[in-house]
Amino acid sequence: MGFSLVEELPKLLWMVIGVAAFLAVIGALLFLVDAGARKSRVEWWQATLFLAPALILLFLGLVYPVFRTTLLSFMDGQGGNWVGLDNYVRMFTQPELLTVLRNTLLWVLFGPVLATAVGLLYALLVDRRRFESVAKSLVFMPMAISFVGASIIWKFIYAYRPAEAEQIGLLNQIIVWFGGEPRLWLLETPLNTLLLIVVLIWVQAGFAMVVLSAAIKAIPDDIIEAARIDGTGLWSHFWNITLPSVWPTLTVVLITISVQTLKVFDIVRTMTGGQYETSVIANEMYAQAFRYNELGMGSALAVFLFVLVIPLVIVQMRTNRRLREEQR
Amino acid sequence: MPMFPNPRTTIATALSLVLLTGGCAYLSGEGGTAGADPDSPECEPYAQWQDIGGTVSVYASIRDEEAERMERSWQMFAECTGIDIQYEGSGEFEAQVQVKVDGGNAPDIAFFPQPGLLERFADSGDLVPAPEGVQQLAEEGWSQDWLDYATIDGELYATPLGANFKSFVWYSPTFFSDNGYEVPQTWDELIALSDTIAADGTKPWCAGLESGDATGWPATDWIENVILRENGPEIYDQWVNHEIPFNDPRIADAFGRADEILRNPDYVNGGFGNVQSIAITSFQEAGLPILDGDCGMYLMGSFYAAQWPEGTEVSETGDVYAFNLPPIDPDQGTPVMGGGEFVGAFADRPEVVAVREYLATAEYANNRAAEGAWFSAHQGLDLETLEVPTDRLGAEILRDPDTVFRFDGSDLMPAEVGAGTFWRGMVNWINGEETDAILDYIENSWSS
């Protein structure tokens, strides 16, 4: 196989065309805006020209699909007949789909909290140490790996071979060294979902660590100085000084990772394909809509996911606004 | 305010516009096939499709080595007729073809591995029925059994392409003869042999269900084969068409029989561990311990011939070979189970019809067979061209007029069962769930 430039040429060309099209649009806009004359009308035109592409794309890419998906979620598989709330009723009664919801709940409960906690702990531990930058980049590195790549790495870590054979999985090898029996990690429900969450933590902890580390460094020195003169212990310093100071940042990190977690699809798909009772909403949505031709059920799951994400996004926007106002 | 726009902006805009038009012109232009001389003797067989030209997009699940062989097999046709065949293979075919069709971006031709999927698109009115010429070739080329799978409401929509044989039990002839084992002729002999191999300290069977998105399907082949042999084709058809429930006692019996092998800790999982390891072992790897003598037998389709490592001798006296899973009920004979792809089309342009006609000819079947590791149920296929002995064996059994052939049942069921709960149920079954619970679960998921 290998990479042949000639064969890939059309794809590259499409990429170039895409970029060129983007530049052409922007160029044309600038051209028109530049070519305009007189102020007040011009400003109105300018605003329209700059906002229109974004608004049109937003409508086509977000508003319209949300509307259509919501309609589809009240229809049956082929998207032809109205079935009312059937899909939603099934979602909360069918044992298999309840398992999916349970798993998503597990993900949301454990993923963001643990990833943030690990990130915070690490940021505190390496803060103002000698090798801080090296230590930080070690934890930050998994961020550069896609979820699919990370999943493949961890699939090897959890790999199983019978006791009499050479272990190829790190986890089972460690257990064998300690005299235990190798186990089929990915088959043990609900432990397997937690093992999948570990992959998310591994990738996201670096992000949490970097952001929180910056927040810790931003705590004003005089506060720390004052605390030290008052003689606070480590623990109370953390509870009374560090945590309140980084709290806004902490919520931002938590929510960002929570949204990521709700949408999680690639880890589950790569590691278990949603088998062994590890499926989550995003995974089930894809399977229902595109593999089983149950477009209605898939849409209902999508709508439910959308509803779950909305409050997080609202909180996120509020926090951001508050932060901006504080900075002024 | 300058009266003239900034020169830099102008240049950037102009340049990008030039790129845009240039790039698009290249992409829509006549790229691709170098023409052969249409009057040369090599082009003789393709004379009827000459002067059509154009481009045909083909979409299927066939990838890698297999796809390259396939593309070589129609290369001559493309060069002689000037029809440019743009092939795209995807591991996500079943899901993506729906997305493409919904998005108004349907391929001209698709190879459907499941008649159930073909039926879905025929019902929705997206597929174009087989034109006159294709129908004629189909009737000449295949037995009615096969054409029935591509006929929806009395209308033929597709022609069969490749075939595979799914009742093979792979084994190692050298391992068998070294230990004095005989190829079993009946189910009882098969169980006796399994006991003997187990007593000699080797796990008699290996199995693997992991197959990415499709994890679970290898176990459905077990169930289908057993139902077919135990109850015969009539009951099998009723089961596939949901005329008897999935949790019918006869189906439960078949599960019980598969249970004796697949969930028997003394029998599985050769080279991989306990019963549960079947669920996470990939089907591609699962049969390989046969080569090391760690496993005795492996039930897997004829396409597994491609999985043996380079240098493995596939023959009756070599490293690996296969026998047909023996009969259970002598009254039912030995019906066989198999699968295959069907060529359906979403467009009816002359060049699309030409490709459909060509793919239905014996000419194509023999060209493809000459590239190796492939066979079909086409009556005009010359069995001598099949290099792999197991392919020849499979093709001979399919060709035999006495053979009762049935298509892989899970491919005929509605997708939410055949590609969903049935697969998932088998995985959970291997993982230790009760048979009755699994049967009820699958039955309840079947809506119609």
- Yes or no, beta carbons of A276 and B427 under 8 Å apart: yes
Count of other CB atoms within 10 angstroms of residue A289: 26
- Yes or no, beta carbons of A27 and B24 under 8 Å apart: no
Angle between helices B350-359 and B132-141 (to 10 degrees): 0
Structure tokens, B278: 């079947």
Please give the single-letter amino acid code of residue B311. G
Give span(s): CATH 3.40.190.10, chain B.
52-160+339-402, 166-335+407-444
Which residues have a Cβ under 8 Å from the Cβ of A184 and sit 6 or more positions away?
A160, B273, B276, B277, B279, B280
Whether B9 shows a pLDDT value over 70: the answer reads no
- Yes or no, beta carbons of B16 and A276 under 8 Å apart: no
pLDDT digits (tens, 9 = 90+) for A264-318: 898 998 888 888 888 899 999 988 888 887 888 899 999 999 898 888 888 888 8
Q: Residue range B294-302: average pLDDT?
A: 93
Is A260 contained in some domain? yes
The CA distance from A141 to the nearest CA of chain B, in Å, is 27
Whether A39 shows a pLDDT value over 80: the answer reads no
Structure tokens, B320: 């690996």
The CA distance from B94 to the nearest CA of chain A, in Å, is 6
pLDDT digits (tens, 9 = 90+) for A136-159: 888 888 888 989 999 999 999 998
Contacts of A161 in chain B (CB under 8 A): 272-273
Q: What pTM, to 2 d.p., does this model score?
A: 0.79
Rounded percentage of chain B residues whose pLDDT exceeds 90: 60
Tell me phi and psi for residue A233, to 5 degrees. Answer: -80, 175
- Yes or no, beta carbons of A290 and B415 under 8 Å apart: no
Looking at the structure of chain A, the number of domains it has is 1
Contacts of A37 in chain B (CB under 8 A): 1
Is A17 contained in some domain? no
Q: Which of residues 202-261 of A touch B (CB under 8 A)?
A: none
State the distance between the two ends of chain A, measured CA to CA, in whole angstroms.
57
pLDDT digits (tens, 9 = 90+) for B98-157: 889 988 899 999 999 988 889 889 988 999 999 999 999 999 999 888 899 999 999 999
**How far is A18 from A14, CA to CA, in rounded Å?**
6
Which one is the CATH code of B166-335+407-444: 3.30.70.270, 3.40.190.10, 2.40.128.20, 3.30.565.10? 3.40.190.10
Whether B59 shows a pLDDT value over 90: the answer reads yes
What CATH fold (topology level) applies to the domain B52-160+339-402? D-Maltodextrin-Binding Protein; domain 2 (3.40.190)
| pLDDT reported for residue B10 | 58
Per-residue CA distances from A177 to A180, A186, A188, B187 (Å) = 7, 20, 21, 43
Location of structure tokens 């516009």:
B17
Rounded percentage of chain A residues whose pLDDT exceeds 90: 18
| pLDDT reported for residue B73 | 93
Cα torsion A181, A178, A187, A98: sign: positive
Please give the single-letter amino acid code of residue A154. W
The mean-pLDDT minimum among A223-237, A303-317, B369-383 falls in A223-237
- Yes or no, beta carbons of A293 and B98 under 8 Å apart: yes
Is A81 contained in some domain? no
Q: Which of residues 153-182 of A touch B (CB under 8 A)?
A: 160-163, 165
Between strands B168-171 and B109-112, the pairing is unpaired
Average pLDDT taken over every residue of chain B = 88
Give yes or no for a contact between A202 and A158, defined as CB atoms under 8 angstroms apart: no
| pLDDT reported for residue B448 | 60
pLDDT digits (tens, 9 = 90+) for B416-444: 888 888 998 999 999 888 999 999 999 98
Q: Residue range A116-130: average pLDDT?
A: 88
Is A314 contained in some domain? yes
More confident residue, B317 or A129: B317
Exposure string for A52-68, b = 16+ CB within 10 A, e = fewer: eeeeeeeeeeeeeeeee
Is A41 contained in some domain? no
Burial of B358 (0-12, 13-18, 19+ CB in 10 A): buried
**Confidence band, pLDDT 50/70/90 cuts, at residue A1:** very low
Please give the single-letter amino acid code of residue A31. F
**How far is B278 from B283, CA to CA, in rounded Å?**
9
Q: Which of A13, A162, A277 sits opposite B272 (nearest CB)?
A: A162
**How far is B131 from B205, CA to CA, in rounded Å?**
47
Angle between helices B422-430 and B435-445 (to 10 degrees): 170
**Confidence band, pLDDT 50/70/90 cuts, at residue B30:** very low
3-state secondary structure of B151: strand
**How far is A123 from A139, CA to CA, in rounded Å?**
10
Q: Which domain holds residue A142?
A: 87-327
Cα torsion B347, B350, B354, B357: sign: positive
pLDDT digits (tens, 9 = 90+) for B228-239: 999 999 999 999
A293 touches chain B (CB under 8 A): yes
Q: Residue range A12-39: average pLDDT?
A: 74
Burial of B10 (0-12, 13-18, 19+ CB in 10 A): middle
**How far is B243 from B232, CA to CA, in rounded Å?**
15
Contacts of B215 in chain A (CB under 8 A): 273, 275
